[in-house]
Amino acid sequence: MDKKHFYRVGSHSGAWDDLPTDPDELDSLTNSARKHIEPWLSAVFQAEHLNLLLGSGFTTAVGYLGGVGATGMAKVTFGTSYDAAIDAHAQAGATAMKRGAANIEDQFRSALALLEGLGVIDKGAENTLKKGIDAQMSGFLTSLLKTESGIVAGKDPASKDAALGALQSFLLSFASRAASRERLHVFTTNYDRLIEHGCDFAGLRIIDRFVGALNPVFRASRVEVDVHYNPPGIRGEPRFMEGVIRLTKLHGSLDWFFDKDERRIYRKGIPFGAPADHTDIPKEPVDTVMIYPNPAKDVETTQYPYAELFRDFAAAACRPNAVVVTYGYGFGDDHVNRVLFDMLTIPSTHLVIMAYAADDRLKAFVEKTRDAQVSLLIGPHFSDLATLVANYLPKPALDYISGRVTELLKHRPGDPKLNDPATVPLSATATGPI
């Protein structure tokens, strides 16, 4: 993993510091790597339980193809006398989780912890800090919506189509499983709705914990709801619908809202890429918008509804014959990493990591795992979304057709030999006029 571009799948691996600049040489390298990577991933994706974990790098990759920047995670100021203490606490938490420099999520976590304490000892200071948090959280939500709207519009029509095409192809590579198999379960730490947007265009149906049409409400029930259909002319024998996935947003979403009166969580109908002044975007989001910065302690994940969401993640990953594929996840969340470590204690499980670079967090995680249970696609080449979709991710529809073609050719005679009398032209054997 010391090279810039690195892959390891099964017993095959390759590493390069610099890729060839000649297009023909680069194509040769890509074709050589694809012979090992694509069949391996195709087999891994047919595991009994397939899970996909997407981090902020996924939105960044799609935004890059669309020619737009992703939401920034740079530090902010709350405009209070506690800013220095908040920054110090945020940095200490980031260091403890081995995530390097603190970011805006660390600051929100520290500021919210301080807000709880001030509520006990100083109401005036609490109100001042709350206004600062509201202002910065509103700005953060606005930046998320700008990223969404940028992806919708694109820098130009070609960039827009490229981003949307890669998004759909990426999701379909995982979701196109036989309907009789366990549904793909997508987990994400992102607050935006890019996955839902891609599923809408790809025609995928989403199953999550929300129930309802006008104001979907979050339900804690773990009933395994699914989608079936009755084949034409057949009654009483429902079959599983294709193109269905399960979705769990581990850190909440910008369209989740908490109703204090009913003590329930609702999902508002905020359009993808809505303007910042949309009527459903609150001016004071601290008490209503259900987005949850990185927890530093497991006790924080016991808060509703995050306990239910993480139980779903652990239940889906920590079982025999389960596979988790990560893309754009930086391994900076201890609570997520712990579930992945627990999963890998089961010998039949497997983890596929797709990452832009092998930073210290990723290296520290991989060093604690067994090579046989972890596949790696690291670097700008192997993790580039367009390259990944075009060359390395399996295409289940084509795999099925190719398999059928291979089976048909096995049962057909080979090409007749030229010296076979039955195939020699009459003109070549005739000794006189026909």
User: In the chain, where are the structural domains located?
Assistant: 5-66+156-209+310-406
Q: What is residue 222's DSSP assignment? A: -
What is the phi/psi pair of residue 158, to 5°? -65, -45
Task: Calculate mean pLDDT across residues 113-133.
Answer: 92
The pLDDT value recorded for residue 320 is 96
The pLDDT value recorded for residue 229 is 81
Are the beta carbons of 240 and 180 closer than 8 angstroms?
yes
- Tally the C-alpha atoms within 13 A of residue 76's C-alpha that lie toward its C-beta: 21
Task: Say how many Å lie between the first and final Cα of the chain, rounded.
Answer: 73
Neighbours of 209 (CB within 10 A): 22
The pLDDT value recorded for residue 181 is 83
41-100 pLDDT per residue, tens: 999 998 999 999 999 999 999 999 999 887 877 888 999 999 999 999 999 988 877 677
The pLDDT value recorded for residue 399 is 63
Residue in 237, 242, 236 with CA at minimum distance from that of residue 181 = 242
130-139, 223-232, 257-266: which has the highest mean pLDDT? 130-139
Residue pointed to by tokens 């832009």 = 356
Question: Which helix or strand (DSSP H or E) is residue 30 part of?
Answer: helix 23-44
Query: Which has the higher per-residue pLDDT, 97 or 167?
Result: 167
Backbone region of residue 247 per phi and psi (left: phi > 0; alpha: psi in -120 to 50; beta: other values): beta
Question: Which helix or strand (DSSP H or E) is residue 26 part of?
Answer: helix 23-44
Residue in 20, 17, 43, 40 with CA at minimum distance from that of residue 30 = 20
Q: Which residues pair with 52 in a beta bridge?
A: 186, 325
Are the beta carbons of 271 and 279 closer than 8 angstroms?
no
The pLDDT value recorded for residue 297 is 41
Q: What is the pTM of this model?
A: 0.87
What percent of the chain has a predicted confidence (pLDDT) above 90? 57
Contacts 24+ apart (CB under 8 A), 337-343: 337/365, 338/298, 339/310, 339/313, 339/314, 340/365, 341/368, 341/369, 342/314, 342/317, 342/318, 343/317, 343/318
Cα angle value 392/353/347 (rounded, 5°): 110
Domain 5-66+156-209+310-406: assigned CATH number: 3.40.50.1220
Handedness of CA 171, 252, 376, 10 (dihedral sign): negative
The pLDDT value recorded for residue 205 is 94
